[in-house]
Amino acid sequence: MYISCFRAPMPQIFIANPKGGCGKTTLATQLAGYFADKKANVLLLDHDAQRSSHDWLQNRPAACSPIALEIFGDSNSQPDADQLLIHDMPAACGIDDFMSQINPGDYLIIPVLPSPTDIKACLRFVMALYRFGFLQKELSIGLVANRVKLRTVYFKTLESFLQRLQLPLIATLRDSQNYIRVMDAGLTIFDLPPSRSKTDRDQWQALLDWLEADTLIERYPIRDRSKQHLLQSA
């Protein structure tokens, strides 16, 4: 999908960090599944050449809430005006990848892992956002500490780093086998029984609150399941 000249009428959600392996696809797919379960008309845009979001959706059971997907750049079609766009940005994405796509009122979520390499990559990305004036564009920008083991030196290092940034830490997500299971099955944390996923659901609530998820859902018409189709690009 080519949207460089498209100005989305509704807020979009971008999951981005130039560092590979930090959990962008996990966040994007979990959010897509959550909003789809709330009957939002979700379009998941896979920008990554590895097509990890596409692979997740291919494994999604037919009984689950439908999600539309496009491989970014595969067509010139425009998204529907009532679609909630969730962008799974690629590794090595730069500021140029955002310039013509992101609009005032959009959300930018930056996942970061508790490792020295990831912290340095995140710092360079945030500095670039500052230089290009993204923090003055009326965007909501937040950080997610991902795959965290709380009682480790590296997590304390990550906490110290995040406190120095002038951006909110909106959620801390633990390192859990639940994410491996749901990503392999095309599911989300919210599809698991509460008895197995309570800790993870509780951690996600902070992110959903930051997104004002309930308000965001209200801004989109309830999806008509009889007309919704699942787009799974090859």
Dihedral pair phi/psi, residue 163, rounded to 5°: -65, -25
* Cα 38 to the center of its chain, rounded Å: 16
Choose between 124 and 225: higher pLDDT.
124
CA pair distance 210, 107, nearest whole angstrom: 10
* Domains of the chain and any CATH numbers: 13-216 (3.40.50.300)
Strands 140-148 and 42-46: unpaired
In contact, 5 and 81? CB cutoff 8 Å: no
Length of the chain: 234
CA pair distance 116, 120, nearest whole angstrom: 6
* Cα 196 to the center of its chain, rounded Å: 23
Cβ burial of 190 (10 Å; 0-12, 13-18, 19+) is: middle
CA pair distance 27, 183, nearest whole angstrom: 10
Tell me which residue of 11, 57, 31, 20 sits closest to 171, measured CA to CA.
31
Q: Up-side HSE of residue 225: CA atoms within 13 Å toward CB?
A: 9
pLDDT tens-place string over residues 48-62: 989 999 999 999 999
In contact, 162 and 145? CB cutoff 8 Å: yes
* Percent over 90 (pLDDT), the chain: 56
Element (H, E) at 56: helix 52-58
**Two tokens, residue 46:** 């896979």
Average pLDDT across the chain, whole number: 86
CA pair distance 23, 113, nearest whole angstrom: 8
CA pair distance 18, 2, nearest whole angstrom: 21
CA pair distance 81, 178, nearest whole angstrom: 34
In contact, 87 and 15? CB cutoff 8 Å: yes
| pLDDT (mean) for 31-42 | 94
Predicted TM-score of the model (pTM): 0.88
pLDDT tens-place string over residues 119-169: 889 999 999 998 888 877 889 999 999 999 887 887 888 888 888 888 899
